[in-house]
């Protein structure tokens, strides 16, 4: 994806453009969805696919604009940005994120016929203990679903590390620049002295509060057959045949990268617990064609996991890396138990 423009362009041009577009869409989206959507749905196969897609796109633009208006109000209330980092304003931004994500998923459930079931692990509350959350990565929107669960159900303050291209979305761009989050630029576009993923993870993990939850995706990207095969070959090329053989026996996941996980553990508070998250229901949604084929989705997404207190984690880097690999085998088994008919390519 194309690199995002400079920050001043995103603030002065992109954000106001989204708000203006939303103002224009409010009186026209319903008419457009009903007239154009109905015609195209009659021509194209499927159950109101075009109508649902048009409605969801229009809703997202309005949602994005509403979030920007709320963020502007918080900026004014903070003394035009002077008190944005104070605890009260941080809580206000977290509450705004919680409400806005709740609204977005309410609409997604209704429009796309989604159901999200959360199997909360025993002892998941752990009040006063920061969490390091490691999750599988498969399907569109799984990071939003996970953050929504942490905000709404666990009442945590998520900290996320994202690709810099997500700054094209004005609401995500503005909100996450005010919360404990960071955007990482790929090495190929990184300027000299600009922090990479490792330094970014260390900085965020070191600043986590007692209600914080740092979210990491050790697989590095959505699981695809090509990426999974490449990861296995990379392990063999590194003379790690035992791990490669174990990875080959995990058809639903990719072998995890341990670097970010180890960095976060070293930088986080000594009592930080690790929450391993598994989910299923989005595996078939890899390409745009897949998403179009599945509309309306009529899916149940199951989110589950297990918690490991700090005292039960290995203390050395090698042991922690193997521990993470063990958890990924467990994630693969968790998925297989709920999707026995699926076979990875």
- For residues 200-211, average pLDDT: 85
Nearest-angstrom CA–CA distance, 259 and 237: 18
Answer whether 202's CB lies under 8 Å from 266's CB: yes
Report how far Cα 112 is from the mean position of its chain's Cα atoms.
19
Nearest-angstrom CA–CA distance, 282 and 96: 27
Nearest-angstrom CA–CA distance, 156 and 229: 35
pLDDT tens digits for 212-251?
889 999 998 778 889 999 999 999 999 999 999 999 999 9
Closest to 256 (Cα-Cα) out of 226, 282, 237, 234: 234
pLDDT confidence of residue 143:
76
- For residues 108-122, average pLDDT: 76
pLDDT confidence of residue 343:
41
pLDDT tens digits for 46-57?
567 777 777 788
pLDDT tens digits for 139-170?
657 777 888 888 877 788 888 888 888 899 99
Could you write out the DSSP letters of every residue in 290-306? Answer: HHHHH-S--EEEEEEEE
Q: What is the pTM of this model?
A: 0.82
pLDDT confidence of residue 289:
67
Question: Residue 260 to residues 200, 201, 252, 282: CA-CA distances in angstroms?
Answer: 9, 7, 21, 24
Q: Which of 20-29, 33-42, 48-57, 129-138 has the highest mean pLDDT?
A: 129-138
Given a cut of 80, is residue 88 above it in pLDDT? yes
Strand pairing category for 299-308 and 212-216 = unpaired
How big, in percent rounded to 5, are the helix, strand and coil portions of the chain?
55, 15, 30
pLDDT tens digits for 256-296?
999 989 999 988 867 889 999 998 877 665 555 656 666 65
């Amino acid at each position: 994806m194309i690199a995002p423009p400079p920050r001043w362009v995103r603030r002065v041009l992109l954000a106001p453009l989204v708000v203006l577009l939303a103002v224009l869409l409010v009186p026209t989206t319903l008419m457009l969805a009903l007239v154009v959507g109905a015609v195209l749905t009659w021509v194209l196969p499927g159950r109101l696919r075009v109508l649902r897609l048009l409605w969801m796109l229009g809703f997202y633009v309005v949602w994005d604009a509403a979030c920007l208006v709320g963020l502007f109000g918080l900026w004014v209330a903070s003394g035009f940005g002077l008190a944005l980092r104070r605890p009260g304003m941080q809580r206000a931004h977290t509450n705004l994120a919680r409400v806005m994500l709740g609204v977005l998923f309410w609409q997604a459930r209704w429009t796309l016929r989604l159901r999200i079931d959360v199997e909360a692990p025993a002892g998941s509350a752990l009040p006063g203990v920061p969490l390091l959350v490691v999750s599988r990565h498969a399907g569109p929107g799984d990071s939003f679903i996970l953050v929504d669960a942490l905000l709404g159900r666990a009442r945590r303050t998520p900290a996320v590390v994202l690709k810099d291209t997500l700054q094209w979305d004005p609401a995500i761009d503005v909100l996450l620049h005010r919360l404990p989050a960071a955007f990482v630029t790929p090495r190929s576009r990184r300027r000299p002295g600009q922090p990479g993923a490792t330094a970014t993870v260390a900085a965020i993990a070191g600043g986590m509060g007692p209600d914080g939850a740092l979210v990491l995706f050790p697989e590095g990207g959505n699981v695809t057959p090509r990426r999974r095969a490449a990861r296995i070959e990379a392990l063999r090329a590194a003379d790690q045949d035992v791990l490669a053989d174990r990875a080959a026996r995990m058809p639903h996941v990719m072998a995890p990268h341990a670097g970010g996980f180890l960095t976060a553990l070293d930088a986080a508070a000594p009592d930080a617990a690790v929450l391993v998250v598994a989910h299923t229901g989005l595996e078939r949604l890899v390409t745009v064609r897949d998403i179009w084929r599945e509309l309306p989705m009529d899916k149940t997404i199951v989110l589950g996991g297990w918690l490991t207190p700090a005292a039960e984690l290995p203390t050395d880097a090698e042991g922690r890396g193997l521990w993470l690999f063990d958890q990924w085998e467990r994630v693969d088994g968790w998925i297989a138990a709920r999707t026995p008919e699926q076979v990875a390519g």
